Chain A
Amino acid sequence: MRGLVKHYGETKALAGVDLDVREGTVMGVLGPNGAGKTTLVRILSTLLAPTAGQATVAGYDVVRQPRQLRRVIGLTGQYASVDEKLPGWENLYLIGRLLDLSRKEARARADELLERFSLTDAARRPAGTYSGGMRRRLDLAASMIGRPAVLFLDEPTTGLDPRTRNEVWDEVKRLVGEGVTVLLTTQYMEEAEQLASELTVMDRGKVIARGGIEELKARVGGRTLRIRPADPLRLRPLAAALDELGITGLAPVTVDAERAALLVPVLSDEQLTAVVGAVTAQDVTLASISTELPSLDEVFLSLTGHRAGEPLDTEPAGSAEHREEVAA
């Protein structure tokens, strides 16, 4: 897509976005609420017309060939778009019929997909009675009825517990294994790392970074070391000591007072070792120590110099995306 722009009145939800996704890969679009991710997906899936710019999906133009395009895409929205009053099987059968499968084909496809997404037992129950994870799986199944070449996953695991999230990830990985091209939007670095091969980071309707996962991770400082002293009172002295150490190139240490932990971004294994050594030298008893991937906040901090969703000088905070705000 080229120079995609979407305005809502004065609000610019997308302020010129360029994006290329290679066939058979997963492109992760990472960004906070209001970044324009959902607007982007809605334009690419023909639900919204762009104000300017053009985009092709699987060779079809989103504005001029919407009907053809709708045949080759699948969409799983942020808010599970299944009919809650209909049983799971009926949901899939309905989509099959709307995709011009014969009655027999639609029945077979519904059975097959329920089986595949482990929903056969719940096939006759209204989708409204499903758990969150089951509903997302049904939603994914519904997107797969037409064997799409391109699948849009708009925050597929937002609001799910970690176990259910893993289930959904496994399903997405299987789909990718079958050669589906996926555009995934997410707020979680971890999700992007699990699923995507390439990443585009968006903020306020603009692309602020793009590249391979490893490349971006290196740019945003790789890992964060989370150190929790057994005695919370030691927190600040320890932070001060680490700051004074003068490990070259160490990003500023932050104190997470709420969880009584220190967050130390480290760029290399050498730095990691040096920090651990320094902590040991302070003779502090530790309750826990762990490394984690940078959070979305940290990614943003290092890429843009401001926190996600934090106001810039002139623009109002979070005004960028109409849709997500309304839905939130």
Chain B
Amino acid sequence: MSATTVPPAQTVHDARIPLRGHLRHTGALVRRNLLWIRQDPESMFDAVLFPIVFTLLFVYVFGGSIGQALGGGQEAYVQYIVPGLMAMMGMNMAQGVGTGFNQDFNSGVMDRFRSLPIGRGSVLFAKIAVELVRMLIATTILMVVGVLVGFDITNWPGLLAAVGLSAVFGSALMWIFLTLGVTMKNAQSVQAMGFLVLMPLQFGSSIFAPPQSMPDWLESFTEYNPLSSLADAARGLMVGGPVAHDLWMTLGWTVAITAVMAPVAIHKFRTKD
């Protein structure tokens, strides 16, 4: 344990971790997070109830009036809101990942992980993988409820593409929330912060209503809001209409956010005291 101690005569340990090692570590941590869900099924409530409650609320509360503006009725709004809610799903799940991660940090478990010879990114990748599973469950439920209230699935490949797009964009956002989860002191502040950022982004977008009726300044904000791009791209893919521009915008945002926030999150995690 000092300069005078002779190192133990054992195999020299390699500093590098092979890709297979990373996969094994991430897999083991995914298993841990899935076991959490089995141990505590209530943690799935948001993923299950969120799509049900939001679909019913929006369709029956706003459906009539916004639908009229769209040139149809409630029927027309269902076609509008379901892809929008799919875009929103990624967001809400992403927010949860930050809160959960923060709780993890305030227990001693993280210290143990960080004292093990694993890539520090593995812990974060595992979180994201599990969150994506939750997101897919939520999306499936959303589609079932959507169909029940009148959504027409006309384009299956388009639907799957929209799900995939929401998932990659959602995982980009998760890096932001993981960073918040690492840096903020407690789970409540992570949640409050996430709420403050997300609410304006969600409502100032084309998720719930077409922006044409909004004041000019808000309309331009909506136009550059990545959530609008995602919602419009999902809409285009699922029900038809122009897709290319919004699709590229969404993918651009995804790449940009990931490129900036993933290294930040991993760095913060690595150097956290």
Contacts and interface: CB of A to CB of B under 8 A. Distances in A.
Given A47-B114, A47-B115, A68 B13 contact: yes
Secondary structure call for the B interface: loop
Interface string A80-120: 11111111001000110111100000000000000000000
Contact of A46 (B39, B107, B115, B273): B115
B245 interface: no
A21 interface: yes
A75 B115 contact: yes
Contacts of A150: 1
B13 A1 contact: no
A181 interface: yes
A60 B7 CA distance: 8
A142 interface: yes
Nearest to B118: A98
Contacts, number: 130
Contacts of A75: 111-112, 115
A73 B1 contact: no
A73 B116 CA distance: 8
A71 B13 contact: yes
Nearest to A149: B8
A79 interface: yes
A48 interface: yes
Nearest to B3: A56
Contact of A90 (B6, B7, B32): B32
B3 A85 contact: no
Contact of A81 (B7, B36, B108): B108
A56 B116 CA distance: 17
A67 B13 contact: yes
B259 interface: no
Contact of B36 (A2, A77, A86): A86
Contacts of B5: 20-23, 56, 58-59
B4 to A, nearest CB: 6
Interface stretch (B20-28, B166-174, B223-231): B20-28
Interface in A224-242: none
Interface string B33-44: 001100110000
Given A67-B117, A68-B13, A126-B39, A94 B3 contact: no
A70 B116 contact: yes
B196 interface: no
B267 interface: no
29 contacts: A2-B2, A2-B3, A20-B2, A21-B2, A21-B5, A23-B1, A27-B1, A46-B114, A46-B115, A47-B111, A56-B3, A58-B5, A59-B8, A60-B13, A67-B13, A67-B17, A68-B14, A70-B115, A71-B13, A77-B112, A79-B107, A79-B108, A83-B109, A95-B112, A98-B116, A98-B118, A99-B116, A150-B1, A322-B273
Interface of B: 1-8, 10, 12-17, 21, 24-25, 27-29, 31-32, 35-36, 39-40, 107-109, 111-118, 271, 273
Interface of A: 1-2, 19-23, 27, 42, 44-49, 55-60, 65, 67-68, 70-73, 75, 77-87, 90, 94-95, 97-100, 126, 142, 149-150, 181, 183, 322-323
Given A23-B8, A60-B13, A83-B109, 16 more contacts: A1-B1, A20-B4, A21-B5, A47-B115, A58-B5, A67-B13, A67-B17, A70-B115, A71-B13, A81-B111, A82-B109, A87-B35, A98-B25, A98-B113, A99-B116, A183-B1
Give the 8 A-B residue pairs with the shortest CB-CB distance, closest first: A59-B7, A81-B108, A97-B28, A68-B13, A70-B117, A21-B1, A20-B2, A81-B112
